Structure 1
Amino acid sequence: MRQTRINRYSLWALALMLSATTYASPKDTLVTNTDGVTVFPDTRYAGGATAVRIQIIRDNIVRVSASPNSTFKDPKSFMASYKHESVKWTLKNESDEVVLNTPSLAAHINKVTGAVKFTDLSGKELLHERTNNGRQLTSTIYEGQPSWKLVQTFESQPQEGYFGLGQHQDGIYNYNGRQVYFFQNNTEVAVPFLLSSRNYGILWDNYSLTKAGDTREYLPLSRLQLFSKAGEEGWLTTSYAPNRDKPDSVAFTRAESIIDYSYLDDDKKGLPAGYPQPTSAITWEGSIASNVPGTHQLKFVYGGYIRVWVDGKLMADKWRQSWNPGVAILDLNLADHQKHPIKIQWLPDGAASYLNAKVLPPAPPALQNTFSFDSDAGQQIDYYFIAGKNADEVIGGYRVLTGDAPIVPRWALGFWQSRERYKSQQEVLETVKTFRQRGIPLDNIVQDWSYWKENDWGSQEFDATRFPDPDGMIKELHKQHTRLMISVWPKVYEGINVYNQFKKSGWLYGRNIADRQRDWIGEGYISTFYDAFNADARKGFWDLLNKHLYSKGLDAWWMDASEPDILSNVSPEKRIGQMIPSAAGLAAENLNAYPLENARGIYEGQRGTDPNSRVFLLTRSGYAGSQRYAATIWSGDIGARWEDMKTQITAGVNFSMSGLPYWTMDIGGFGVEKRFEHPNAADQKEWQELQTRWFQFGTFVPLFRSHGQFPFREIFNVSEPGSPAYESMLYYNRLRYRLLPYTYSLAGMAYHQQYTIMRGLVMDFPNDEHSLTVGHEYMYGPSFLINPICEYNRREQSVYLPAGQGWFDLYTGAYQEGGQEVTAKAPYERMPVYVKEGSIIPMGPALQYTDEKKPYPVTLFVYTGKDASFTIYEDEGTNYNYEKGAYSQIPVTYNESTKELSIGDRKGTFEGMQLRRQFRIVWISKSTARPLDPEVKPSAQISYTGKKVTIFYQHKN
Structure 2
Amino acid sequence: MNLKNYYMKKIVITILFFTFSIPLFSADFERTKLGIKANIQSMDVEVQFYNPHIVRIVKSQEGFVFKKESLSVIKTPQVVNLIVNQQGDIVSLKSEFIQVTLDLKTGKVSFYDLSGKALFTEKDYGTQFTPIKDVDKKTFTVRQAFLLDKDEAIYGLGQQQEGKMNQRGQKLLLRNENTKICIPFIQSTKGYGVFWDNYSPTKFVDNPQEMSLESEVGDGLDYYFLYGKNADGVIAKMRDLTGQSPLLPLWTLGFWQSRERYTSQEEIVGVVEKFRKLGVPLDGIIQDWQYWGGNGNWNSMNFDNPKFSEPQKMIDRIHQLNAHYMISVWASFGRDTKQFSELKEKKSLLNFETYPKEATPYDPYNPEARNLYWEYLSKGLFAKGVDAWWMDSTEPDRTFTRDSDLDVPTHLGTFRSVYNAFPLQTVGGVYDHQRKAASNKRVFILTRSAFAGQQRYGANSWSGDIHGRWDVLRKQIPAGLNFSLCGIPYWNTDIGGFSVDYKGGIKNVAYRELYVRWLQFGTFMPMMRSHGTSTPREIYMFGQKGDWAYDAQEKFINLRYRLLPYNYSTAWDVTNQSGSMMRALVMDFSQDKKVYDINDEYMFGKSLLIAPVTESMYVKNENDKSEEDFSQIKSKQVYLPEGTSWYDFWTGAQFSGGQTISKEVPVDIMPIYVKAGTILPVGPKVQYATEKKWDNLELYVYPGADGEFTLYEDENDNYNYEKGAFSTIKINWNDKEQTLTIENRKGSFPGMLKTRNFNISLITKGKSTADFSAKTDKAVTYKGKEIVIKLK
Aligned twin of 2:273? 433
Is the CA contact 1:892–1:903 (under 8 Å) kept in the aligned structure 2?
yes
**Mapped contact 2:502–2:511 kept (Cα < 8 A):** no
Q: Aligned-pair distance for 1:42?
A: 2.4
Give the conservation status (yes or no) of the 8 Å contact 2:352–2:405. Answer: no
User: Pick from 509, 534, 546: which aligns with 1:710?
Assistant: 534
Which residue identity does 1:664 align to in structure 2?
A: N
1:810 aligns with one of 649, 654, 664: 649
What does residue range 232-311 of structure 1 map to in structure 2 within 5 Å? none
Give distance in 1, aligned partners of 2:248 and 2:128: 42
> Equivalent residue for 2:9?
none
Asked if the contact 2:34/2:48 (under 8 Å) is kept, the reply is yes
TM-aligned CA deviation for residue 756 of structure 1? 0.9
Q: Which AA in structure 1 matches 2:343?
A: F
1:499 is paired with a residue whose SS is helix
Residue in 1 aligned with 2:26?
27
Alpha-carbon separation, structure 1, partners of 2:97 and 2:164: 32
Q: CA deviation at 1:68?
A: 0.9
Does 1:144 pair with 2:143? no
Count matched residues: 754
Query: Are the counterparts in 1 of residues 601 and 610 from structure 2 also a CA contact under 8 Å?
Result: yes
Does the CA-based 8 Å contact 1:447-1:485 persist in structure 2?
A: yes
Corresponding position of 1:842: 681
Q: Which residue of 2 aligns with 1:760?
A: 584
Q: Does 1:620 align with 2:448?
A: yes
Matched-pair contact (CA < 8 Å) for 1:40–1:70: no
Instruction: Indicate the residue corresponding to 1:552 in structure 2.
Output: 384
Which SS does the other structure have where 2:774 is aligned? coil
State the one-letter code of the partner of 1:570: T
Which residue number corresponds to residue 597 of structure 2?
773
Query: Which amino acid is 1:859 matched to?
Result: E
The answer for the alignment partner of 1:373 in structure 2 is 213
Supply the AA of the counterpart residue of 1:635. S
Residue 598 (str. 1) matches residue 422 (str. 2): no
Look up the match of 1:133: 125
Give matches, 1:442-841, under 5 Å.
442-454=282-294, 455-512=296-353, 525-565=357-397, 567-568=398-399, 570-571=401-402, 573-577=403-407, 580-673=408-501, 675-677=503-505, 684-793=508-617, 795-841=634-680
Partner of 1:393: 233
Deviation at 1:64, TM superposition (A): 0.7
The amino acid that maps onto 1:724 is: W
Q: Flag the 1:180–1:875 CA change in 2: closer, same or farther, 3 A.
A: farther
1:851 aligned partner: 690
Q: Tell me which amino acid in the other structure corresponds to 1:650.
A: P
Deviation at 1:587, TM superposition (A): 2.0
**1:287-344 CA distance string (max 9 Å, x none):** xxxxxxxxxxxxxxxxxxxxxxxxxxxxxxxxxxxxxxxxxxxxxxxxxxxxxxxxxx
Structure-2 separation of matches of 1:556 and 1:574: 35
Q: Does 1:99 align with 2:92?
A: yes
Q: SS in structure 2 opposite 1:73?
A: coil
- Change over 3 Å in CA distance of 1:806–1:534 after alignment to 2: same
Please state whether the residue corresponding to 2:146 is helix, strand or coil.
strand
SS in 1 for 2:674: strand
Deviation at 1:452, TM superposition (A): 0.9
Q: Aligned partners of 1:145, 1:422: CA distance in 2, in Å?
A: 47
Matching residue within 772, 785, 791 for 1:947: 785
Q: Could you tell me how far 1:673 is from its partner in structure 2?
A: 2.6
Deviations 1:194-216 (A, max 9, x none): 111111000110001101232xx
AA of the residue aligned to 1:607: R
Deviation at 1:934, TM superposition (A): 2.7
Question: What amino acid is aligned across from residue 545 of structure 1 in structure 2?
Answer: L
How far 1:625 moved relative to its partner? Answer: 0.6
Name the amino acid aligned to 1:699: T
Pair 1:165 & 2:154 matched = no
Residue 72 of structure 1 deviates from its aligned partner by: 5.0
* Residues in 2 aligned to 1:100 and 1:466: alpha-carbon distance in whole angstroms: 66
5+ long unaligned stretches in structure 1: 5-24, 44-49, 215-362
Deviation of 1:949 after TM superposition, in Å, equals 0.8
CA distance in 1 between partners of 2:603 and 2:429 (Å): 33
8 Å CA contact retained: 1:712, 1:718: no
Q: Report sequence identity in percent.
A: 40
Once structures 1 and 2 are overlaid, which stretch shifts more, 453-462 or 417-426? 453-462
Q: Distance in 2 between matches of 1:574 and 1:911?
A: 56
Distance in structure 1 (CA, Å) of the matches to 2:29 and 2:553: 65
Q: Secondary structure at the match of 2:222?
A: strand
Which residue pairs with 2:41 in the alignment?
Answer: 42
Q: Indicate the RMSD between aligned Cα atoms, in angstroms.
A: 1.6
Match of 1:340 in 2: none
Q: Given the superposition, is the C-alpha separation of residues 71 and 377 from structure 1 closer, same or farther in structure 2, using an over 3 Å criterion?
A: closer
Amino acid at match of 1:506: K
In 2, the alpha carbon distance for the partners of 1:54 and 1:669 equals: 46
In the TM superposition, what is the alpha-carbon distance from 1:720 to its structure 2 partner?
A: 2.3
Q: Distance in 2 between matches of 1:369 and 1:882?
A: 50
Corresponding residue for 2:19?
A: none
Contact 2:684/2:694 (<8 A) preserved: no
Question: What code does the residue aligned with 1:717 have?
Answer: M
User: For residues 729 and 491 of structure 2, what CA distance do their matches in structure 1 show?
Assistant: 27
Deviation at 1:678, TM superposition (A): 8.1
Q: Report the counterpart of residue 302 of structure 1 in structure 2.
A: none
SS at match of 1:720: coil
The equivalent of 2:629 in structure 1 is none
Summarize deviations over 1:766-803 as a string: whole Å, max 9, x none: 00011112111111011111111111126210100101
TM-aligned CA distance change 1:474 to 1:499, over 3 Å: same
List per-residue Cα deviations over 1:715-773 (Å, max 9, x = no partner): 11123221111111101000100000000011000010000110111100000011112
Mapped partners of 1:864, 1:29: distance in 2: 60
Q: Is the 8 A contact 2:506 2:536 kept in 1?
A: no
1:296 aligned residue: none
**Equivalent-residue separation in structure 2 for 1:914 and 1:71 (angstroms):** 62
Q: Deviations over 1:599-647 (max 9, x none)?
A: 0111011111113421000000010011111111000000011111111
Give 1:383's match in structure 2, choosing from 197, 200, 223: 223
**Contact kept? 1:815, 1:929, Cα under 8 Å:** no
**Contact 2:648 / 2:654 at 8 angstroms: preserved in 1?**
yes
The aligned residue for residue 308 of structure 1 is none
SS of the aligned residue for 2:503 comes to: helix
TM-score (norm 2): 0.93
Give the Cα–Cα distance (whole angstroms) in 2 for the partners of residues 446 and 52 of structure 1.
50
Whether the 8 Å contact between 2:513 and 2:549 is mirrored in structure 1 is yes
- Kept after mapping to 2: 8 A contact 1:175/1:213: no
Moved more, 792-801 or 475-484: 792-801
Distance 1:55 1:940 in 2: 56
CA–CA distance in structure 2, aligned partners of residues 529 and 71 of structure 1: 33
